[in-house]
Amino acid sequence: MKRNLLFISRYPEIIDEFQGILEEKQIETEIAQNGTDAMELLKQKEYQILVTDLNLDGYNGDKIISYVNQVFPNTICMLYTNSISAVQLGFYLNKRDVFRVFLRPVNFRQEFMQALEEAYELYDLKKHDRDSRQERLKQLEDNRKAIAEIEGSDGLERLNEVRQAVLGKKGELTAVLKGMKDVAPEDRPKVGQWVNDTRSAIETILEEKMKKLEADALKKRYEAEKIDVTMPAVKHEKGNLHPVTQVRNQLIDIFASMGFEVYEGTEIETDYYNFTALNTPQDHPARDMQDTFYLSPEFLLRTQTSAGQIHVMEAKKPPIKIISPGKVFRSDDDATHSPMFTQMEGLVVDKGITLCDLKGMLDELVKKIFGKETTTRLRPSYFPFTEPSVEVDVSCFQCGGCGCKLCKGTGWIEVLGAGVVNNKVLEGCGIDTNEYSGFAFGIGIERIAMLKYGINNIKLLFESDMRVLKQIDD
């Protein structure tokens, strides 16, 4: 775009000086020597730059600048003068109607040339803003884009996005209103009226569209929430605990009612706590690799929760009354044995404890587990950590002792092993055997669950077969 400029001065020598500068810059220049001629030129065309003196015949420089700012808001006005008071200078600069004020002759030529470059850059920026604003107006007015987007909104969320894009703080109409100061005075009423009419029309369409979308959303909600009372109710299946967990909890409740505390040991034990401290000799079959899962010569997966008894007796002085439930591991696998199963060990240490105390406690236990008519009997056995040792049988709760398939015709079912704690075990834990004695017992929880619920294969307890597990819920 070719550059142009209107220069106004009543002094020929100043005109000559300015013309030399402007020709050097190849700027198309119009010259006026008084205010009247300048006004005639301004009525014919818009100039990019206006340079004027204050004192002119006809219209003075101040009136010309005021006119240009009203009619041509993009034109850049500059003022030069031989003398001006500080008050006047501050007035022009504060008004911001004048881009630059020059005081001749101090560095006039260099300062003026630099100011020209800056003025043209400012003009280009203002014109770009004006063109962008006019383009936005044209888009809103001609294409009716906003209305089309409103009509095309398929939901309340999308409709709100359109509202913000057009009417929000950073919306199209708001941007036009913010730029009203740069609109030509004669166009401002027209543009303002158009903006107000457009806003009103868009708000009306938005309101109608919102009501329609809300009605559609409500209709869809009613459809989704509609209940057919003739349809059968949806059944929610009730879950239950695993049979082993149920029996474990029942046993803990029974022993807790007798005053027992619960101790849970670690599943990885040392050879000492698992065997040596329980008076198990080095040549005992349980120590063989084929019967025990060794992690190293020193560490292994515990084969019994009896190791917990040693930890308790080392840490606590009698009286002691604890049960120790948990998983144990043995290299054994058939219909009634599993490489991993759950055991509950019990220990009582106090003054005057005998086998009679063990028998009385076991009688109470089996009545609560298998029924009030159930009784116990003790058979001699051997365990290295008890002396004497016994196998505990219960009367068959299925046939009442008459003999059946469950008890193999004997009328009795073996359920656990027990005995009086060996003095060597007590002494190894620092307990005086002249003052204290005790009894211990070990219960296989899976075995109790199989007997109680009629499960004939221990593997059914580990296969998570819902056909089996759903039948058991005590």
Task: Calculate mean pLDDT across residues 175-187.
Answer: 70
Helix (H) or strand (E) holding 442: strand 437-444
Residue % of the chain over a pLDDT of 70: 85
Other Cβ atoms within 10 Å of 407 Cβ, number: 21
What is the four-CA torsion angle of 98, 104, 106, 107, rounded to 10 degrees?
70
Decide if pLDDT at 251 tops 70.
Answer: yes
Contact 68, 77 (CB under 8 A): yes
The alpha-helical segments, DSSP class H, found in 25-142 are 35-44, 61-71, 86-95, 108-138
Q: What distance in Å separates the CA atoms of residue 401 and residue 407, rounded to the nearest whole number? A: 8
Are 90 and 101 spatial neighbours (Cβ–Cβ below 8 Å)?
no
Percent of the chain with pLDDT over 90: 33
CB 265 within 8 A of CB 324: yes
Site of tokens 């008519």: 373
pLDDT digits (tens, 9 = 90+) for 134-159: 555 555 554 456 666 776 777 777 77
pLDDT of amino acid 426: 95
Q: How confident is the model over 293-318, as a mean pLDDT?
A: 93
CA atoms within a 13 Å half-sphere pointing along the CA-CB vector of 190: 7
User: Residue 111: exposed, middle, or buried by beta-carbon count in 10 A (0-12, 13-18, 19+)?
Assistant: middle
Q: How confident is the model at residue 234 (pLDDT cuts 50, 70, 90)?
A: confident
Tokens of 298: 């020193």
- What single-letter amino acid sits at 189? P
Per-residue pLDDT of 27-78, as tens digits, reads: 888 899 998 999 999 989 888 888 888 788 888 888 888 888 888 888 888 8
Q: What is the pLDDT of residue 106?
A: 45
Q: What is the pLDDT of residue 350?
A: 96
d(CA 175, CA 352) in angstroms, rounded, equals: 98
* Residue of 215 and 176 predicted with greater confidence: 215
Q: Note the pLDDT of residue 388.
A: 94
Token digits of residue 301: 């997966």
* C-alpha closest to that of 444 among 241, 251, 301: 251
**Global pTM exceeds 0.85:** no
Q: Are strands 320-329 and 261-262 parallel, antiparallel or unpaired?
A: parallel
pLDDT tens-digit series, residues 333-389:
777 778 899 999 999 999 999 999 999 999 999 999 988 989 999 999 999 999 999
User: Mean pLDDT over all residues of the chain?
Assistant: 82
Give the SS3 label for residue 327: strand
Beta bridge partners of 8: 32, 52
* pLDDT computed for residue 430 by the predictor: 94
Using a CB cutoff of 8 Å and minimum separation of 24, what contacts does 136-145 make? 136/172, 136/175, 136/176, 137/176, 137/191, 137/194, 139/172, 140/172, 140/173, 140/176, 140/198, 141/194, 141/198
**145-152 vs 156-167: helix crossing angle, rounded to 10:** 170
- Segment (H or E) for 370: helix 355-370
Asked which of 177-181, 226-230, 281-285 is least confident by mean pLDDT, the reply is 177-181
CB 227 within 8 A of CB 217: no
* Predicted pLDDT at 143: 42
DSSP state for residue 253 in the 8-state scheme: H
- Residue 372 to residue 199: CA distance in whole angstroms: 88
CA distance 353 to 357: 6
SS3 label, residue 258: coil
Measure the CA–CA gap between 179 and 431, rounded to whole angstroms: 97
Q: Please determine, for residue 427, whether its predicted confidence score (pLDDT) is greater than 60.
A: yes
pLDDT score of 125 more than 90: no
For 262-275, what is each residue's pLDDT tens digit?
A: 999 999 999 999 99
Angle, CA of 229, 234 and 235, to the nearest 5°: 140
Residue bearing the bigger pLDDT, 445 or 113: 445
Letter for the amino acid at 17?
Answer: E
pLDDT of residue 96: 52
Q: Provide the pLDDT for residue 292.
A: 87
CA angle, 128 then 129 then 130, to 5°? 90
> Residue 305 in contact with residue 274, Cβ under 8 Å?
no
237: exposed, middle or buried (Cβ count in 10 Å: 0-12, 13-18, 19+): exposed
